Amino acid sequence: MKADIGILGLGVMGKSLARNFASKGFKVAVYNLPLPGEENFASEFVKTYSDLPFIGSNDIEEFIAHLSRQRIILLMVKSGEAIDQLITLLNPYLEEGDIIIDAGNSFYKDTIRRINYLKPLNIQFVGMGVSGGEKGALNGPSIMPAGSIEVRNSLLPILQKIAAKADDKPCVAWMGTDGAGHFVKMVHNGIEYADMQILSEVYGISKSMLGFTNVQIVQMMQKWQKSILKSYLIEITIDILKFKDVDGDILLEKILDVAGHKGTGQWAISEAMHFGIAIPSICAAMNERIISGQKELRQSLSKKNQKANLSKIKLTENTLKGALIFSRICALAEGFHLMRHAAQHYNWKTNLADIAQIWRGGCIIRSDMLIPIMKAFAQNPDYRHLFEIPEIADLLITYKPAAERLIAATLKSNIACPTISASVQYYRSMHTEFLPVNLIQAQRDYFGAHTYKRIDDKSAQSYHTIWDK
């Protein structure tokens, strides 16, 4: 009996994806590189889920032998060198036309390199972003694959069966060629960083400035779930705010205020800088995670922070709601602008409407905010920026005053609000016809002879001035 697909890597995500495929009627070969004492890991996994069509393998050759041609092997292991090592391990057993899928959070340029390495061997390599965490992988993730047209035709029908669904459509679409899938997933994670940080700022302000209890914050967020703010992240935030420890206390209050990160946010920022695309809300969110790690220094410096009299600061639930809508749209705008630019640079032919649609279900940033974005790009794929979309522009105009009121209040009370602040400044700068950076260009020319262009010369000629003569 031959398997339809092989899953190599039985960590949390690998096991969940394997069970997802098997529950949809696919026969799945499974294998895990053995650690000492875990040589029979795959066999034990198959025994655990004996009701599903799994075939366990305890060595790589047996694993490959269980796969029907055209072989499809999905790698779910840590990104980086481990992927290259697995490709080297698999190569002797593969034949022309076989497909390797990297479903981890790999850097998209590594994916491009691996595709080019395997191309002379006629082995197809697919970089595939997968979002949704453990539950999403099991019940239906958002899937972002990319590769050749030939492999697209082979894989899409399979992936559509395991993907999440939104509006009765599977949350999977072909992102384009080579590294497009992992690039889109990287940007997804950058937006995710911003969304999470914005919610944490709103949570903190609710407690410190409005004096809300966790119960009151839950009640407020439950109302938001009936609006355009409806999202997975607010849904899980409500659960977290209610969750009690074994002693009956709210567990959230016992969690150390130091946030981790795994690198995709840094990649998004680095690539945005490389392409010359501003993503300040995402940058601010990443910076706040880094600052959170300076716990001891923050504790020492906090003694010098004099807080204002909060009783004189008036904020409402509607102010928080408006600021949240405004800043989350700005974070999405930054991400879509970056994806559009990269797709043009690499000629990926990425469909932005497809991205908005597949992010509507399964993934971490799924939200009703994506609906107007999806519809707008479906009608006009030539929008350069979300700020050009009339419905989005109207929402931003409506809620910008709330975001500004929130920032003004936090400034008066010495409360940090970096990501919401960054979104407002981004919006202002992007809507300013003439920025005062003409002075910066003159300074660069003064000390480095970097030249400048003149607004009264349309020829694009460069000028240099001896400023200290």
Report how far residue 356's alpha carbon sits from residue 336's, in angstroms, rounded to the nearest whole number: 9
- Cβ proximity of 292 and 259 under 8 Å: yes
- Cβ proximity of 34 and 56 under 8 Å: no
State the chain's maximal CA–CA distance in angstroms.
85
Residues in the chain: 469
Residue bearing tokens 């395997």: 118
- Cβ proximity of 83 and 109 under 8 Å: no
Q: What are phi and psi of 55, to 5 degrees?
A: -125, 115
What are the Cα distances from residue 121, in Å, to 33, 79, 91, 427?
24, 22, 9, 48
Tell me the β-bridge partners of 55: 29
Tell me the β-bridge partners of 145: 128
Amino acid at 261: H
Residue bearing tokens 């602040």: 421
Active site residue 192: yes
The angle subtended at Cα 161 by Cα 159 and Cα 167, nearest 5°, is: 105
**Residue of 15, 27, 185, 400 marked catalytic:** 185
Report how far residue 142's alpha carbon sits from residue 340's, in angstroms, rounded to the nearest whole number: 19
- Selection from 83, 87, 107 nearest residue 99 by Cα: 87
**Residue of 192, 201, 271, 288 marked catalytic:** 192
Residue bearing tokens 């875990």: 38
Amino acid at 278: A
Tell me the β-bridge partners of 165: 170
Residue 422: Cβ within 10 Å count: 26
- Cβ proximity of 67 and 91 under 8 Å: no
Residue bearing tokens 């522009």: 393
Report how far residue 276's alpha carbon sits from residue 14's, in angstroms, rounded to the nearest whole number: 36
Report how far residue 180's alpha carbon sits from residue 186's, in angstroms, rounded to the nearest whole number: 10
Prior bond to 70 cis, omega within 30?
Answer: yes
Catalytic residues: 185, 192
